[in-house]
A and B are shown apart, each in its own frame.
Chain A
């Protein structure tokens, strides 16, 4: 029968592919072990080099984070909640708008206002409602 003959012809091919696959998996495992050993060696060498020459090993750059914290941010959060209705009825608040607003006095540094807004956004206190010119973000207070 044609189908049986075809199966018999194809079976050796499947065996070849299977054997090759086994060999490839073995090589992958072997390479993984080599890689792990190299990582461990690198860590030890880096630690040793750091002791011998501290300047030779660059320290990881500290991520810029929020500069606003503690009492200032708490005051800002409280202000957002207090003025929620007023903020949400308008187009929303934005960094330079707060900076220019003489009635806002919680944070006087424009960069810190931006960071406070970013933190409040990340905390879920405010949301981006729309965008303005130059990438300006208008925020509204979440319920």
Chain B
């Protein structure tokens, strides 16, 4: 079992971390209904997310948690509203919205930039589960 970014969005795992607070890789895998074999995969994914600023790791207690940037992203509560807003946008405006998002990617918070890039990959890569 892999925790690859083509199977799980970053926000899937971040929501779990938000629920559980500090958690070990083994416990996260278990909470997600996976066997102990998935512990290593969970740790690898969380390490990559840490590299991109979404998670933190307490070396002493060996626990993973959301970073401050990660907490800010998860605190956003306007998904349903945004979904409706974007759904109603004409195509031309969608392209402009994408240009604006790309600008935020280039000039905004680096953690946000990584998350935007990875969301795009999840949503468009031929390897992603969205195509299955």
Any chain A CB within 8 A of the CB of B64?
no
- Cross-chain contact B11 with A63 (CB below 8 angstroms): no
- When distances are taken between beta carbons in the complex, the residues of chain A under 8 Å from B94 are none
The segment from B49-57, B76-84, B99-107 found at the interface with A is B76-84
- When distances are taken between beta carbons in the complex, the residues of chain A under 8 Å from B130 are 66, 118-119, 121-122
Number of A residues whose C-beta is below 8 Å from B? 23
Interface residues of A in 114-130 (CB under 8 A from B): 118-119, 121-125, 127-130
Given contacts A123-B83, A127-B15, A142-B79, contact A118 B129 (CB under 8 A): yes
Measured as residues with beta carbon below 8 angstroms from the partner, the interface class of chain B is 20 to 34
Interface string of B1-39 (1 = CB under 8 A from A): 100000111011001100000000000000111100000
- When distances are taken between beta carbons in the complex, the residues of chain A under 8 Å from B123 are 122
User: A118 touches which one: B12, B80, B87, B132 (CB < 8 A)?
Assistant: B132
User: B12 touches which one: A63, A64, A127 (CB < 8 A)?
Assistant: A127
Measured CA separation A129–B132 after assembly (Å): 19
Any chain B CB within 8 A of the CB of A28?
no
- Cross-chain contact B126 with A130 (CB below 8 angstroms): no
- When distances are taken between beta carbons in the complex, the residues of chain A under 8 Å from B12 are 127-129
- When distances are taken between beta carbons in the complex, the residues of chain A under 8 Å from B131 are 63-65
- When distances are taken between beta carbons in the complex, the residues of chain B under 8 Å from A124 are 9, 11, 79, 83
User: A127 touches which one: B1, B9, B122, B132 (CB < 8 A)?
Assistant: B9
- Cross-chain contact A64 with B132 (CB below 8 angstroms): yes
Interface string of A39-71 (1 = CB under 8 A from B): 000000000000000000000000111100000
- When distances are taken between beta carbons in the complex, the residues of chain A under 8 Å from B33 are 130-132, 138
Interface residues of A in 90-143 (CB under 8 A from B): 118-119, 121-125, 127-132, 138, 142-143
- When distances are taken between beta carbons in the complex, the residues of chain B under 8 Å from A129 are 12, 15-16, 32
By a beta-carbon cutoff of 8 Å, the part of chain B in contact with chain A is: 1, 7-9, 11-12, 15-16, 31-34, 77, 79-80, 83, 87, 122-123, 126, 129-132
Question: Top 9 nearest A-B pairs by Cβ distance?
Answer: A130-B33, A131-B33, A128-B12, A122-B130, A127-B12, A130-B32, A127-B15, A143-B77, A142-B79
Additional 7 contacts, C-beta under 8 A, given A128-B32, A143-B79: A74-B87, A77-B83, A125-B83, A127-B9, A130-B31, A138-B33, A143-B77
Q: List 18 A–B pairs whose Cβ atoms lie within 8 Å, in order of A's numbering.
A: A63-B131, A74-B87, A118-B129, A118-B132, A121-B9, A122-B9, A123-B83, A124-B79, A124-B83, A125-B83, A127-B12, A128-B9, A130-B32, A130-B33, A131-B32, A131-B33, A142-B15, A143-B77
